[in-house]
Amino acid sequence: MALPDDINTLTASALPLLDVAGIAVFAISGALAAARAGQTIVTFTFFAAITGIGGGTLRDLLIGAPVFWMHDPVWISTCLIMAWAVWFTPRNLWPERAVDWFDAVGLAAYSVYGSAKALAYGIPPLPSAVMGIVTACMGGIARDTLAGVPSILIRPEIYVTAAAVSAGSFVALTALGLPLMLAAIIAGVLGFTLRALAILKGLALPTYRG
């Protein structure tokens, strides 16, 4: 099944809004992780940046694209602004699981955008879906590693699976000829809903029993 001819137009116009949204909410989740650990403003900004741009940086390197934040200050500026916003907001105003909820929004948005950008660079559908997962997950993995908490990657709670649902459904729906923005919305909602269920209900994959 052929991919739509206007995937490049979409990734150059409407879908960058998902990129901004994904970076902003991931940056907030990174800064909140620093807040939870009682860190300094320097750590806040570093956590916000690595969480916000980490996945997209790896994606661009793998698909042969210019690393997005090296050519436009808006991306790193977004991370810095989010870090400072969290720094100046009293901790008691943030919900207990604020990191998880901001991360869930970023996960859904970035899964779709990462897949769309890979498709725009001529990457085949399956690797493009994998690039969506990489884009969505690597920043959060780096954040957890730096914060010294168990990475979501090795916890049974559904996380990577939600990214895979968003990325895979976006690639599949576009291949079937669905309008691209509609495909993006559906895919994002599916991934976010699955991650939300994991947060609210402790939804998890079965673990190895031997």
For the chain, give every domain's residue range.
7-201
Q: What phi-psi label fits residue 177: left (phi over 0), alpha (psi between -120 and 50 degrees) or beta?
A: left
Cβ partners under 8 Å of residue 135, min gap 6: 22, 55, 56, 58, 59, 110, 111, 113, 114, 115, 117
155-177 average pLDDT score: 93
Digit-coded pLDDT (tens) for 11-32: 545 566 767 877 888 899 899 8
pTM of the full predicted structure?
A: 0.86
